[in-house]
A and B are shown apart, each in its own frame.
Chain A
Amino acid sequence: MALTKNQIAKRIAQELKSGDYVNLGIGIPTLVANYVPEGIEVEFQSENGILGMGPFPKAGEEDPDLINAGKQTITPLPGASYFDTALSFGMIRGKHIDLTVLGAMEVSDQGDIANWKIPGKLVKGMGGAMDLVASSENIIVAMMHTNPKGESKLRSACSLPLTGVRCVKRIVTNLAVLDITSDGFLVKEKAPATEISQIVKATEGSLIVPDYVPVMKLD
């Protein structure tokens, strides 16, 4: 069975290490916060200006002065801090943020990422995505392996306008966990009940399949 979006988030949550400051993008990445493993202490940053972001407020306790980068109402956890947006991107550019998780439309086997613009469609802007991918040392992409048309999102070269070049380190899709290596996408794990042939078929870029590929553990 291919992974659901929540299962992709759960698998990515296994990458969290105690002490990590983490920036989660909009979409599947946001769900990662729901699956922080027990005993792991991390802090989530939202780039508009909060560290120590907590869950959504209870109904009636929303504060219009407290939102995340997706404009959603949020709450602070004990130890949280607020700051201006330049300081926030200083944390990102200065490599103080340990892990960035974001969605993508396409990733190339060199680690290029496209996630902000589709030619011919309405452009909404890159927000903080270009700053994040240009500066983070550790970038994990959360996405489906193919787009709704069934075309591969793991490509030899991105066909869409780029957000950043040679920056993605790891991809978690509904079919597999893959690392970006100098030889292309290296399959590290496969989803439960998924055949390697499915991963091969859904990947347009260079793919390296080791003799043994373990199955993802999701429990």
Chain B
Amino acid sequence: MIRKKVDTVAEALEGIQSGMTLMLGGFGLCGIPENLIKALAASSYKNFCCISANVGVDDFGLGLLFGTQKVKKMIGSYVGENQEFERQMLSAEIEVILTPMGTLAEKCRAAQMGIPAFYTPAGYGTEVAQTKEIREFNGKNHLLETAFASDFSLVKAWKGDEAGNLIFKGTARNFNPLMCGASKITVAEVEELVPVGSLDPNQIHTPGIFVDRIFQGDHYEKRIERRTVQNT
């Protein structure tokens, strides 16, 4: 058994440096690595390139990294809902690359799976296709998209064991499993860290081989972005 457990957030982030490229799991505020984001926001590191589906809200989630001016480049799919991010984007303080959501997911997965590039029809005939190789397969045009190259993946799971095996919950799974093993170092924070042997191998979503460091986070807020209920 190879142990991946670390005891502190500082240990989990050891080796991180300014200017690195980071993948951050989560969709909106759902399934985000809250403890790791807070630690980065409080650190002296900056000029990160962040790869994540969205940009959080002003005072929570990935938004904490924009509020503290930690990001110089953002690669994402939908970047609404955060005013400070908008300000930095409009004043060109940060570079923003918008990517179709399925392509974003697959660029993470390709990095994880050792596939350098892939063809997808998404974005053909649009500005996303500019500068990209176009190739026809089965009568349909596709763009060549490349795998991401990233230094750290920071992900969040529901449960994990000390060997780094992960189980996700609900739609908090989203981009998290795709980012595991997609960077040089993968750090997973979990709501519940259990001893090896406690999780049923049949139920593991991400095997521990894709995870380098794991720790149990605390004080999860799990804020809801759009609380929507039935009319009664």
Contact = CB atoms under 8 A, between A and B. Distances in A.
A85 B174 contact: yes
B126 to A, nearest CB: 5
A67 B125 contact: no
Nearest to B109: A86
Nearest to A70: B226
A201 interface: no
Interface stretch (B39-47, B65-73, B217-225): B217-225
Interface stretch (B10-18, B26-34, B195-203): B26-34
Nearest to A128: B101
Contacts of B105: 84-86, 88-89
Contact of A72 (B101, B109, B226): B226
Interface stretch (A2-10, A48-56, A185-193): A48-56
A62 interface: yes
B169 interface: yes
B100 A63 contact: no
B158 interface: yes
A48 B232 contact: no
A73 B77 contact: no
Contacts, number: 168
A84 B176 contact: yes
A202 interface: no
Contacts of B226: 67, 70-73
A130 B30 contact: no
B228 A84 contact: no
Contact of A162 (B126, B173, B223, B225): B126
B1 interface: no
Chain B residues touching A, range: 35 or more
A68 B27 CA distance: 10
Nearest to A60: B229
B171 A82 contact: yes
Nearest to A53: B171
A141 interface: no
B48 interface: no
Nearest to B223: A64
- Interface majority SS (helix, strand, loop, mixed), chain A: loop
Interface string B78-112: 11110000100010000000101111011011000
A134 interface: yes
Interface stretch (A98-106, A119-127, A146-154, A176-184): A119-127
B146 interface: no
A216 interface: no
B178 interface: yes
**B28, B125, B222, B225: which has the most chain A beta carbons within 10 Å?**
B125
Contacts of A46: 171
B149 interface: no
Contacts of B20: none
Contacts of A48: 27, 30, 171, 174
11 contacts: A65-B169, A82-B168, A85-B174, A85-B175, A124-B80, A125-B78, A128-B77, A128-B100, A130-B122, A130-B123, A131-B101
Given A49-B173, A67-B224, 18 more contacts: A47-B102, A58-B230, A58-B232, A59-B229, A65-B170, A67-B171, A71-B30, A73-B226, A85-B27, A85-B101, A85-B174, A86-B102, A122-B86, A123-B79, A130-B103, A131-B100, A162-B127, A163-B126
